[in-house]
């Protein structure tokens, strides 16, 4: 089995999500002996945002009309989607920045959402192609958004990630959530404790 471990927080050693993804990956190593893990730190090596050149993955890679910049961007997109397709489990750490995911993670998602690779269009509409994968989302939030209708309406992190991976066919999406990280020591401890319970629930699922 192969696991793709992705971090996107810009907070380095102070990052909550980086700690959560490390714990999840170690848990999955224990549950799946021989698990191969590949690591991608988007805070360090994020792809460029989409541009006319970065849309090169929609063109034939051998097309002589491609510019050097387009060929480079096409190669970046190809490497990222190939890496994703090879993984059985994908662990993604995403803090909540201004009600949504980090721009670095959005740039990666824009590169791997490729028609014909991760989804396809049919006469009946789009069909996802990643149904054989498990995606584990490790999320952190300064406030608490999951316990109220108003909070859910403001949160475009978990909802967005579930939507785009669902669009790409993933039905096994699991969530580890640490909320209230910036609301005082007691709230932070409570949020981290809940995240650890979520991780333990993953262990039970992995062993099932």
Task: Please enumerate, by residue number, every residue annotated as part of a binding site.
Answer: 9, 140-143
Give the C-alpha separation, 26 to 108, whole Å: 24
Spacing of C-alpha 108 from chain mean position: 9
Q: Which residue has the tokens 């792809």?
A: 47
What length does the chain have? 208
Give the DSSP letter of residue 97. B
Give the C-alpha separation, 177 to 146, whole Å: 9
Give the C-alpha separation, 138 to 5, whole Å: 11
**Helices of type H across 12-148:** 16-31, 42-45, 68-85, 103-112
Greatest Cα-to-Cα distance within the chain, rounded to the nearest angstrom: 60
- CA-nearest of 94, 103, 83, 96 to 39 is 83
Backbone dihedral angles phi then psi of residue 127, each to the nearest 5 degrees: -130, 125
Q: Which residues carry a binding-site annotation for FMN?
A: 9, 140-143
Q: Strand 119-122 relative to strand 172-178: parallel, antiparallel, unpaired? A: unpaired
């Amino acid at each position: 089995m192969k696991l793709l471990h992705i971090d996107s927080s810009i907070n380095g050693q102070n990052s909550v999500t980086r700690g959560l993804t490390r714990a999840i990956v170690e848990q999955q190593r224990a549950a799946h002996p021989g698990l191969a893990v590949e690591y991608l730190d988007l805070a360090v090596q994020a792809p460029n945002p989409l541009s006319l050149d970065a849309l090169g993955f929609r063109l034939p890679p051998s097309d002589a009309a491609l510019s050097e910049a387009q060929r480079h961007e096409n190669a970046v997109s190809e490497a990222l989607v190939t890496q994703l397709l090879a993984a059985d489990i994908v662990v993604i750490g995403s803090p909540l920045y201004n009600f949504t995911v980090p721009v670095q993670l959005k740039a990666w998602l824009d590169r791997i959402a490729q028609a014909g690779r991760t989804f396809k269009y049919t006469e009946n509409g789009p069909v996802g192609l990643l149904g054989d994968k498990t995606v584990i989302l490790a999320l952190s939030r300064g406030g608490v958004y999951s316990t109220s209708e108003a909070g859910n309406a403001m949160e475009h992190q978990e909802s967005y990630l579930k939507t785009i991976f669902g669009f790409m066919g993933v039905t096994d999406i699991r969530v580890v959530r640490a909320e209230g990280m910036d609301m005082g020591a007691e709230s932070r401890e409570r949020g981290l404790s809940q995240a650890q319970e979520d991780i333990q629930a993953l262990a039970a699922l992995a062993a099932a």
